[in-house]
Amino acid sequence: MLPTEPALNLEPTDLLSRFATQSNHYNTYGITPKAFMPNTKNMQLSVFCTTGLTVEEITNVARDNIPGKVYGHGLSFVAFIRGLGLSIDYDNEPEKHANVIGWPENKDGQKNLAQKLSREVNSSEAFCRYPEPIEPLNP
């Protein structure tokens, strides 16, 4: 394994970034629970491991990997996500990518977890709203 490749095992102290890709994913108070709802097709929430990266480097991850506009990102510790009973599949495809999995089947259960994630990010002031939306390099 090359030294620049991230390990496929995540530590509890690793940080995951969830990108706010829609205008309803944030408001004046921070990131909203809608940003943390899993994809209804595959019941996964796409995130990126951004441990040790600067804000500029995190925005570059967004620019390189997210197909549309990105309005900001929220950071959450792996330990907090796992503490909610969710799991993380660190597939590294694309680089640094992971999926939060293990969501409840019912919508109320999903909303409850999304609210907890949003509240944790906002209470720790771990939401970074970009002054201007980030546009993808290759739309």
Residue 83: count of CB within 10 angstroms of its CB: 12
CA dist 64 to 16, 31, 88, Å? Answer: 16, 21, 22
Going 100 to 46 to 117 to 79, the CA torsion angle's sign is positive
Q: Kindly state the DSSP code that residue 39 receives in the 8-state scheme.
A: P
Please report whether residue 105 resides in a domain. Answer: yes
Number of domains in the chain: 1
pTM: 0.91
Give pLDDT tens digits for 36-45.
999 999 999 9
Give pLDDT tens digits for 94-134.
999 999 999 999 999 999 999 999 999 999 999 999 999 99
Please report whether residue 57 resides in a domain. Answer: yes
Please report whether residue 2 resides in a domain. Answer: no
Q: Which element (helix H / strand E) includes 87?
A: strand 87-89
